Amino acid sequence: MPNQKPDHNEESVPFFPDQFMREFRVVIGIVVLAIIIGAIGMVKPVGLEEPADPFNTPAHVKPEWYFLGLYQLLKFVPKTAGVLIPIVGVILLAILPFIDRRRETDLKPTKIRAILAAIGMLILIALTIWGGVS
């Protein structure tokens, strides 16, 4: 079986030089296109607006909708706390199943957790809506 030679009656194209040269031409074409676009960009750059000033934020700038709640939170708490509160919250939610491993026999702690989660979600939704209309 190892001494069997492949059947050459099938139509096949060898990788080298046929397929190699075809891919080489494609790579050369892409490189030439990138060089042309770069040269055009150097000769005639696109003028957008004045350069960004990190010390002067325009009043109309708002984050995307999924960051509006956190953006609104930053208006009410100090910046350090506004950054740390969401991070600590996510870390606590991630490690809570590993910390509390006892079996629940009473539904009271489950109800308390559900109420706290609902209050947290309502606060986040309210902050998001408030950030959107402000």
pLDDT in tens, 97-114: 888 777 878 888 889 989
Query: Span 37-66, mean pLDDT?
Result: 84
Does residue 119 register a pLDDT over 90? yes
Answer whether residue 56 is part of any domain: no
CA distances to 42, 44, 58 from 67, rounded to whole Å, are: 37, 37, 18
**How many domains does the structure of the chain reveal?**
2
Please tell me whether residues 22 and 70 are part of one structural domain: no
Please tell me whether residues 44 and 70 are part of one structural domain: no
Which pLDDT score is estimated for 50? 80
Please tell me whether residues 78 and 112 are part of one structural domain: yes
Please tell me whether residues 76 and 108 are part of one structural domain: yes
Does residue 9 register a pLDDT over 70? no
Which pLDDT score is estimated for 8? 60
The token duo for 98 is: 């590993």
Does residue 1 register a pLDDT over 60? no
Residue 74 CA to residue 83 CA, distance in Å, equals 8
**Which of 29-38, 67-76, 86-95 is most confident?**
29-38
Write down the pTM of the prediction. 0.53
What DSSP line would sit under 26-90, residue for residue? HHHHHHHHHHHHHHHHHHSPPP-SSPP-TT---TT----GGGHHHHHHTTTS-HHHHHHHHHHHH
Domain extent at residue 100:
65-133
Please tell me whether residues 35 and 78 are part of one structural domain: no
Please tell me whether residues 80 and 31 are part of one structural domain: no
Contacts of 77 (CB under 8 A, 6+ apart): 85
> Mean pLDDT, the chain, as a whole number?
86
Answer whether residue 4 is part of any domain: no
- Give the residue, 31 or 3, on which the prediction is more confident: 31
Answer whether residue 95 is part of any domain: yes
Residue 115 CA to residue 109 CA, distance in Å, equals 10
